[in-house]
Amino acid sequence: MSRSGLLALVILMIGLSVGTAPARAQNGGVVNVYSARHYGAMEATFTRFTEETGIQVRLSQGTVQSLLERLRAEGSQTPADAFFSIDAGTLDLAADEGLLQAVESDVLIGAIPEDLRHPENLWFGVSQRLRVIAYNPATVDPAELSTVEQLADPIWKDRLCLRPATHIYTISLTGSLIAAYGAEAAQAIVNGWVANNPEYIDSDTRIVETIEAGGCDVGLVNQYYVARKISENPDYPVRVFWPNQAEDQRGVFRNISGIGVTAAALNRENAVRLIEWMATDGQSADATGIPGGNFEYPVNPEAEIHPILEAFGPFVIDPLPLTEYGALQAQAITVLEQAGYGF
């Protein structure tokens, strides 16, 4: 399949799942959000925001790629006041294309570290998610594990679960390999993953459940998918391994849930207030929303970390700037295509 074919397939397979589009008219009591977050905890978060501020959140949902395409197509006529993404790269593409506007806010500058927001304040991270190795301790000695790159080793043949090539988690992680090692070395790593005959599962939850059931021994997932299971069952058998933690290694791959105000926002003040709330009151670990309700790590250094996440232990993060992710997406898709990575 050609690169253009895979790009088209990415857009085709992600689909677009949206609610009824709000009317394009200013309304002092609402904020219209295009959201790539689909978790029930997010609805609870927005309900809490409405209860505390009186501002109603109107959601249109889809994948990050489909919502970005929608923003591009709608241009100045978009009803969206804010774009809420599960990927820094897609936010950065929106920023580079003029789809987001700068926000000057002392609250946000004080609450969100510099490396977790756009340098010109075009978007802001509101929670952190880490791509970890989930494993079954009944079949895997953690001493066997080291890096995501090492999953290309033949010892993991027929034992590995991965997300498909069309998912943004896979695309951004592959982009990080290109940033760390160059395209040729990244290609060799991805080729090794493919050679291990992984089972491609388009759900991190189902990857974790497949590991539990013995369908595979290891898989790449965001840490909160395991944390959710542990919150339901403290004895849940799947464990988290922090990859790439040795002194000479790059650290665990990080992405964010982040949000920016659209360039055409009619309810700009409400959108800014939503982001400020998410970076402050909405950060509490005992809240039903971000990050506590979904077991993501907070961005605000003053926020409490959920005890389940604390139990996962300390880790070193890959220092790759979040602003690099978007520029690497096209190369990452090429690497995945050339490897014959499943979709």
For the chain, which domains are there?
3-128+255-310 (3.40.190.10), 130-253+328-339 (3.40.190.10)
pLDDT confidence bin for 6, thresholds 50/70/90: very low
**What one-letter code names the amino acid at 237?**
P
Torsion-angle region of 218 (φ positive above 0: left; ψ -120 to 50: alpha; else: beta): beta
| pLDDT surpasses 60 at 10 | no
| pLDDT surpasses 70 at 289 | no
pLDDT at 292: 47
pLDDT confidence bin for 45, thresholds 50/70/90: confident
Mean per-residue pLDDT, 283-311: 77
pLDDT at 44: 77
Q: How many CB atoms are located within 10 Å of the residue 119 CB?
A: 10
Tell me which of 22-31, 100-109, 248-257, 289-298 is least confident: 22-31
Mean per-residue pLDDT, 102-114: 97
| pLDDT surpasses 90 at 239 | yes
Average pLDDT over the chain reads 90
pLDDT confidence bin for 7, thresholds 50/70/90: very low
Strand 82-85 with 56-61, pairing: unpaired
Mean per-residue pLDDT, 101-122: 97
| pLDDT surpasses 80 at 277 | yes
Q: Find the angle CA(116)-CA(122)-CA(125) to the nearest 5 degrees.
A: 25
Mean per-residue pLDDT, 64-91: 96
Q: Which two tokens stand for residue 234?
A: 């403290």
pLDDT at 84: 96
Mean per-residue pLDDT, 159-180: 97
pLDDT at 1: 46
User: Which of 160, 175, 200, 174 shows the shortest CA–CA distance to 342?
Assistant: 200
Mean per-residue pLDDT, 229-247: 96
Displacement of CA 281 from its chain's centroid (Å)? 21
Q: What is the pTM of this model?
A: 0.88
pLDDT confidence bin for 100, thresholds 50/70/90: very high
**What one-letter code names the amino acid at 115?**
D
As a whole number of angstroms, the distance between CA 161 and CA 206 comes to: 10
Q: What percent of the chain has pLDDT over 90?
A: 82
Q: What is the pLDDT of residues 139-164, one digit of tens each?
A: 999 999 999 999 999 999 999 999 99
Long-range pairs, 74-79, Cβ under 8 A, ≥24: 75/264, 76/263, 76/264, 77/24, 77/264, 78/24, 78/262, 78/264, 79/21, 79/22, 79/23, 79/24, 79/32
| Length of the chain (residues) | 343
Q: What percent of the chain has pLDDT over 70?
A: 88
User: Which of 113, 114, 87, 90 shows the shortest CA–CA distance to 100?
Assistant: 90
| pLDDT surpasses 70 at 91 | yes
Q: Which of 9-13, 300-304, 335-339 has the highest mean pLDDT?
A: 335-339
pLDDT confidence bin for 42, thresholds 50/70/90: low
pLDDT confidence bin for 343, thresholds 50/70/90: confident
